[in-house]
Amino acid sequence: QWLSDTYGLIDIFKPQTQKWLGKIYENLINQGVSGWVNDKIEPQEHPNSYVHPNGTAQQVHNLYSLVWAKNVFENSQRTSPDKRVFNM
């Protein structure tokens, strides 16, 4: 769901989003990238009307970064268990 003309919000709580994002990271790992700085990945604007699969924006806003980092870790373990990926 697009929130404005200048940016979009990735719903990290949806399993299909996690798979999509996991494939992006997997591709980058296969190209030799071994670390991430996932700084400022939480939504700057998270409208109260936005509802995720696990709750409203207000209920899950503080979980956004945690779920993103967990997704990076779990996907890297699944796709590249022999590599140690750095996720900051």
Residue 2 confidence (pLDDT) above 50: no
Percent of the chain with pLDDT over 70: 91
pLDDT of residue 7: 56
User: Does residue 13 contact residue 70 with C-beta atoms inside 8 Å?
Assistant: no
Q: Which long-range contacts (CB under 8 A, 24 or more apart) does 52-59 make?
A: 52/11, 52/13, 52/14, 53/11, 53/13, 53/14, 54/13
Residue 6 confidence (pLDDT) above 60: no
Mean pLDDT of 64-74: 90
Mean pLDDT across the chain: 84
Tens-place pLDDT, residues 16-44: 999 999 999 899 988 988 888 877 677 77
Mean pLDDT of 48-76: 89
